[in-house]
Structure 1
């Protein structure tokens, strides 16, 4: 097992075991939105903290709208190109603060050939 796949496995296990959640204050808008870039960096920080690993590369395709039940899928990419999906779901909104849960997929996808 490569180091990158080991890190992905550790990240997935850590995220699954902890039932991770986060909240982020955003600029005032109706409904509030968390930019894709800020969501990516926040997830990277939370996953690193949960697994005691270096920050992984995380990319999210869209802003997260602060509406309960809204979901998005982000992607964690290891140095070898293998990937792991991360599902993000808004659990509550308090003013300009978006609270969400996130969960990494059980299995990583291998790097493309």
Structure 2
């Protein structure tokens, strides 16, 4: 039997999913010889702050597996982890690049995955 998130956690995840259906965001990065990119840690921080601003909730725990390349159409998947261990996927897609600024949209999944079962 899958474990369901607590009602409070479920409400938080639902608010984030509804509030972040599509949020525009941007971040400035330094450019070397190659295309601009945003480190995975900087991306996670920016996404978390934007979700908190959009939903009025505390800053969530976001992890992103890779740097975000500054090329239109580039996408990555980040993960929001709730206090109870349940997760919500967050898609990040680059919409434009202006100099050293990468503009991207954030879209949270509609439903969360339950926390892993305790052993």
The structure whose Rg is larger is 2
1:21 aligns with 2:38: no
Contact 1:32-1:96 within 8 A present in 2 as well = yes
2:103 corresponds in structure 1 to 99
Q: 1:2 offset after TM fit, Å?
A: 2.4
Q: 1:86 aligns with which of 71, 75, 90?
A: 90
Runs of 4+ in 1 over 4 A off after TM superposition: none
TM-score, structure 1 length as denominator? 0.95
Q: Distance in 2 between matches of 1:42 and 1:2?
A: 27
Aligned length: 111
Q: CA RMSD in A?
A: 0.8
Partner of residue 10, structure 2:
5
Q: Which residue number corresponds to residue 41 of structure 2?
A: 37
Q: Give structure 2 stretches of 5+ with no counterpart.
A: 1-5
Q: Does structure 2 conserve the Cα–Cα contact (< 8 Å) formed by 1:84 and 1:104?
A: yes
Q: Which stretches in structure 1 are left out of the alignment for 5+ residues? A: none
Alignment of 1:43-82 (within 5 A): 43-82=47-86
